[in-house]
Structure 1
């Protein structure tokens, strides 16, 4: 198979890709700020809101597989535009849903599908096809850092919008902001996909999937990513309410989420950079173990704004720093021809974990009046994820003969 030449400049690729991830991830990181306004205004339980966000994460994971397939086949440009339109529709629907079912459909299904087309799997596919292997992990770190900057930028902005305009109008304004991803998508048009024609590949989709799912390292990466989803979405959605229950002001929660985003800018960039020099499986194992330690110390220490901010800074360094090494390992093992699709499957495991984390948070809180059990589960899973990443083999898979597209 002839190699696909670089089609996009590094600057164009990173600026447009990073801006899209900043908007998409930045908006979704602030959804925890709406938990209490939405439930109190509609008389719903926390589990109702948590289920919708859990469904959002599960939909994101499911749709991400197909968004990845479409991006590998037709290029990322069309997929991103479709995702941006769904995002705007979902946010506006979320603002005006009168029933839990409609809220689950808009906040859950529509926004979940939108995120599938505007976040990492699709953007990383473009990076994989246009960035040389020796710079790929670094470039993925840049894109992940942009998502973190989006959290730092957007979460306080969303808190300001809610306090200034009300929660419904804030969601409507974010819907218009999501449409900014449409013009940014033009910067990711790949000439190699002109007319909807994908470059020739050694493997069909079915062959690529059979190869990946039979490979133990792929299974271990999926198991670790499940834990990542469980931890970060539980904390991102439920920590504002956890802190308010403990008597801290809503501003502490907003600043905490913003700090996570700020420090994750550095964490993801560092992880992507280290991935060029160190074994990525060791980076992943360290991140997951460090999360378990950080959560344990947070629960043991006396709760105060200072302890919350320290925990947020540490967790920020570890937050999405799993993303660049995980996706870089997938590209390193299997190549880039089906990278968006394979990243989509790994991310699906992440989103199953996200579903469990956010839903269990609401379910167990409503049953026990406390988040303690879910915190303990997050600690145990962190240790598990650290252990399962250690046996991962990062070398490129050996194919005995071309399989033919």
Structure 2
């Protein structure tokens, strides 16, 4: 019986089409999701809810997204990407529609929290990056991951002011319904990403259980899981609570929308740069420097009087570092274990990210309701950035021992 590895099943479309479709999916799914914080003020005022109520729905969304991500990744690895993306788009759309008509917090949780959360797990850039990982050569994976992540950033740039304009023009309920319809565009795009992963040539095949055992027994992977928690905390807290934070200071709601858009715009540069850096230099050291830089930027922002200029400078600086963690982190997973179970293994790393997101969103609302200020959460964000910088230093940017050994002879 031969132990020759199974080649990856490539999509029946040109690579350029795969990249284009994947980038479009990332732009839609992440772009819309990044604008949800703009609904906090009008929705809570219309329903008479506290900020914690809305924040809890997004916190549940992040947690459900993270918990479902390894499951959707495993389904994608086994049965193919396209089916998972279609299901994700439908659940995402249904969840937004439910949230638009939610008359009580429970219905909001079911729509914005659970349905959108599962939809994001099945239709997000995490699944897209796994499709890229099996479609490009190992030398170009980091760059491809940077392109996919940059597309998500462009979506944030696009949907920030677009969503605020819709809210101002047609009201928040209709704006949410329009977003629900728009996300269904993912369905026709999914075909181009059709396919599933096989094993790398020359590497002994693995079972699903063996892959999980190897990953969680590998110190560098475990450290990566802990470090990505911090990324989730930062992104969720800032994306959801920066707009109301600025409104509390008497600034225009559109400034918050443009701040989110500017973060997305600058992260196009940041994500592409991170992909290029990851292809040439240590991904783990690059991540350590990135998290430390985030802490310094947050410290600078809260240390000076908040003005329109300081907000835009903060948004630009954070934008360069926003999703730049993704091509580096996903690249490390691919380097450590190859593409065969990448959607699954990156899914577990992403679950840690979403636990951080849950706490960033929920604690932001909770602490604000208790103290009337976001100051404590800003300081927690600074401390977590330093923690992540230290955690990434010992991570090995190299294949796990199994991939360094040739497959046994037939």
User: Which of the numbers 24, 48, 51 marks the counterpart of 1:43?
Assistant: 48
Indicate the residue corresponding to 2:319 in structure 1: 316
Q: Distance in 2 between matches of 1:121 and 1:178?
A: 16
Matches within 5 A, 1:78-97: 78-97=83-102
Indicate the residue corresponding to 1:174 in structure 2: 179
> SS at the partner of 1:276?
helix
State the TM-score, normalizing by the size of structure 2.
0.95
Q: 1:3: how far off?
A: 3.1
Contact 2:9 2:198 in 1 (8 A): no
Indicate the residue corresponding to 1:3 in structure 2: 7
Contact 2:60 2:358 in 1 (8 A): yes
Indicate the residue corresponding to 1:203 in structure 2: 206
Which structure 2 segments of 5+ residues have no match? none
Indicate the residue corresponding to 1:128 in structure 2: 133
Q: Distance in 1 between matches of 2:262 and 2:238?
A: 13
> SS at the partner of 1:243?
helix
Q: Distance in 2 between matches of 1:264 and 1:401?
A: 39
Matched, 1:143 2:148: yes
Q: Distance in 2 between matches of 1:384 and 1:50?
A: 25
User: Which of the numbers 376, 379, 383 marks the counterpart of 1:380?
Assistant: 383
User: Which of the numbers 117, 122, 125 marks the counterpart of 1:117?
Assistant: 122
Matches within 5 A, 1:1-400: 1-4=5-8, 6-7=10-11, 8-190=13-195, 193=196, 199=198, 202-399=205-402
Contact 1:237 1:358 in 2 (8 A): yes
> SS at the partner of 1:396?
coil
Q: Distance in 1 between matches of 2:126 and 2:320?
A: 21
Contact 1:80 1:185 in 2 (8 A): yes
Q: 1:6: how far off?
A: 4.5
State the TM-score, normalizing by the size of structure 1.
0.96
Q: Distance in 1 between matches of 2:342 and 2:56?
A: 30
> SS at the partner of 1:117?
helix
Contact 2:6 2:198 in 1 (8 A): no
Contact 1:136 1:328 in 2 (8 A): yes
Cα deviation code 1:361-384 (max 9, x no counterpart): 000000000000000000000000
Cα deviation code 1:70-116 (max 9, x no counterpart): 00001100000000000110110010011101101100000010110
Q: Distance in 2 between matches of 1:382 and 1:199?
A: 36
Q: 1:329: how far off?
A: 0.5
> SS at the partner of 1:97?
coil
Question: In the comparison of the two structures, how many residue pairs are matched?
Answer: 397
Q: 1:202: how far off?
A: 1.1
> Structure 1 residues 51 and 332 mapped into 2: Cα distance closer, same or farther (>3 Å)?
same
Q: Distance in 1 between matches of 2:8 and 2:182?
A: 34
Q: Distance in 2 between matches of 1:346 and 1:353?
A: 11
Contact 1:77 1:188 in 2 (8 A): yes
Q: Distance in 1 between matches of 2:276 and 2:337?
A: 21
Q: Distance in 2 between matches of 1:288 and 1:151?
A: 21
Q: Distance in 2 between matches of 1:372 and 1:241?
A: 13
> SS at the partner of 2:205?
coil
Q: Distance in 1 between matches of 2:383 and 2:271?
A: 23
> Structure 1 residues 328 and 199 mapped into 2: Cα distance closer, same or farther (>3 Å)?
closer
Contact 1:6 1:131 in 2 (8 A): no
